[in-house]
Amino acid sequence: MTTVADLREQVRGPVIEPGQDGYEEHRRVYNFMHDRRPVVIVQAVDTADVVAAVGHARDNGLDLAVRGGGHSVPGFGTCDDGVVLDLSRMNNVFVDPPKRTARAGGGATWGDLNHATHAYGLATTGGIISTTGVSGLTLGGGIGYLARGCGLSCDNLVGAEVVTADGRILSASDYANEDLFWALRGGGGNFGVVTALELGLHDVATIYGGPLFYEVEDAAAVMASYRDLIQDAPEQLGAFFAWQIAPPLPFIPEDRHGDLFCVMVVCWSGAVDEAENAIRPLRDVAPVKAEHVGPMPYPALNSAFDGLVPRGLQHYWKADFVRELTDDAIAAHIEHGKRTPVVNSTMHLYSINGAPHRVGREETAVAHRDATFAAVIAGMWPDPADNEANISWVRDYYAAIHPHSDLNGGYVNFMSGDDAGRAPENYGRNYERLRRVKTAYDPHNLFHLNQNIEPMA
């Protein structure tokens, strides 16, 4: 057993207890639905701090919440009566141009990573919001603008440093602890604390992209056109469909602010003069009512929507993969999308094909390599008094589209806390192998605040 006083002597970063400066701010995560009170928050500055915090939780039988970017919708980055290990100070990113890799600290965000790699004209697949953590997003899979050409985020992981439950510091790659490396690419935070990730980079600097807004009446045609286009479009084209209540932005006519639209967000990472040709079908399918599409630095698109989803909202999400987006599924989307209740809430429909399909379903922990779309109904709203109505919108929408999912499972990073029971279907045939790796590296399930893969008895 160690006391918090012992812990303070072992670590260099701040150790914050209830009542101390910063406790109220740092006990909370991005999703303010979770109002939890840990006994101590360790803001690690290096791997040695992580080893000490893991040991403190383990030896005292305390829950351990590992926080990268803190964006987990189920609030896995905080806990009641346990230890929060906050990695946000470990956010340095070092780029190795000859190797075309970046080594990111376990607490780096996509904003941190893009900032560092853009200086070299390089990027890799990350999420669409820059405040999300590189670790949590990559360890769960990682879907983003560049995925069709560059693979999922986890497909770009070439190595990691991991602190395991017993306090060892391990390297994981194709050449060291290969079973752990396999599991890290999709298996989430189940196996240890990732203190650093090494990610492969691609030549992406200026992209041509942004949102195209259409009338809701055209949504079925827009979604169908997206489905047809994206099947065999050049892999430099990334795109997703979204519902969006128009925020008061200058490119949207003032009299339409507050109206619901359907939106295609596009990101063309090929030659700029070929961009309009690539997105032509999306322009031709229906009149575009507002748009903000053009050449821009990749980090600009990656942070363009951050303002719509500030820290402190309430979040409740549901998600599924589909292999085939049928017309009946589109009809269900339209019926519920039309009722999108608030400017922050949306449904995003991400396409998954191209590079992610060239990775075998047993090559990484991500099992559903035959999914072609990932739908996420992302309920996000400011006032806890509106929880019931907003959660109902998400649940009703999900109930309507779920029967149209021809795949049993969804993307682990889009799951809510009440989806914990879906882990076996989300991992499909990789689930039993993940359990074996879990048993080898974390037999007592110290790392259980995640979409948990239970060790074998």
Q: Which residues bind ligand FAD (CB under 6 A)?
A: 29-30, 66-73, 76-77, 87, 106, 127-129, 132-133, 135-137, 139-140, 142-144, 188-189, 193-194, 309, 413, 449-450
Cα–Cα distance measured from residue 366 to residue 357, given in angstroms and rounded to the nearest whole number: 11
Task: Give the Cα separation of 40 and 52 in Å (integer).
Answer: 13
Beta carbon of residue 313, minimum distance to ligand FAD (angstroms, whole number): 9
Nearest to 358 by CA among 148, 173, 188, 209: 148
> Nearest-CA neighbor of 180 among 392, 383, 453?
453
310 vs 443 by CB, closer to ligand FAD = 310
Helices (H), 107-232: 110-118, 134-140, 147-150, 178-184, 219-232
Given a contact cutoff of 8 angstroms between Cβ atoms, the answer to whether 114 and 304 are in contact is no
User: Quick check: 183 and 193 in contact, CB under 8 A?
Assistant: no
Q: How far is the CB of 132 from ligand FAD (least distance, A)?
A: 5
Smallest distance, Å, CB 64 to ligand FAD? 9
Q: Report whether 157 contacts 178 (CB < 8 A).
A: no
Is the Cβ of residue 82 or residue 285 nearer to ligand FAD in the bound state?
A: 82
Task: Give min distance, CB of 98 to ligand FAD, in A.
Answer: 26
Q: How many C-beta neighbours within 10 Å does residue 432 have?
A: 11
Please say which residue, 193 or 365, places its beta carbon nearer to ligand FAD.
193
* Residue 321: strand pairing partners: 374
Least distance from ligand FAD to the Cβ atom of residue 1, Å: 24
Q: Which is nearer to ligand FAD, 54 or 329 (CB)?
A: 54
Comparing CA positions, the residue from 199, 186, 237 lying closest to residue 368 is: 186
Question: Quick one: 93 or 285, whose CB is closer to ligand FAD?
Answer: 93
Sign of CA dihedral 335, 232, 129, 316: positive
User: Quick one: residue 121, left, alpha or beta (phi over 0 = left, psi -120 to 50 = alpha)?
Assistant: left
144 or 200: CB nearest ligand FAD: 144
Side chain identity at 328, as an amino acid letter? D
Q: Least distance (Å) from ligand FAD to the CB of residue 451?
A: 7
Identify which of residues 285 and 427 has a Cβ nearer to ligand FAD in the complex. 427
Cα–Cα distance measured from residue 210 to residue 309, given in angstroms and rounded to the nearest whole number: 17
β partners of residue 197: 104, 160
In the complex with ligand FAD, the residue whose CB is nearer, 67 or 404, is 67
How many helices (H) and strands (E) are present in the chain, helices listed first?
A: 14, 19
As measured in angstroms, the least distance from the Cβ of 317 to ligand FAD is 8
Nearer to ligand FAD, 68 or 299 (CB): 68
CB nearer to ligand FAD: give 70 or 210: 70
**In terms of CB distance, is 143 or 282 closer to ligand FAD?**
143
The least distance separating ligand FAD from the CB of residue 253, rounded to whole angstroms, comes to: 27
Helices marked H in 259-365: 275-284, 298-302, 327-337
State which amino acid sits at residue 177.
N
Contacts of 91 (CB under 8 A, 6+ apart): 104, 105, 107, 108, 109, 112
Is 189 strand, coil or helix? helix
- Min. distance of Cβ 345 from ligand FAD in angstroms? 11
Residue 11 Cβ, how far from ligand FAD at the closest point, in Å? 16
Query: Least distance in Å: CB of 403 to ligand FAD?
Result: 24
Q: Which residues are CB-contacts of 410 (< 8 A; sequence separation ≥ 6)?
A: 319, 320, 321, 374, 419, 422, 426
Asked if 141 and 413 count as a contact pair (C-beta separation under 8 A), the reply is yes
Amino acid at 160: A
Q: Which is nearer to ligand FAD, 66 or 329 (CB)?
A: 66
Per-residue CA distances from 211 to 85, 252, 255, 297 (Å): 37, 11, 19, 15
The least CB distance from residue 137 to ligand FAD, in Å, is: 4
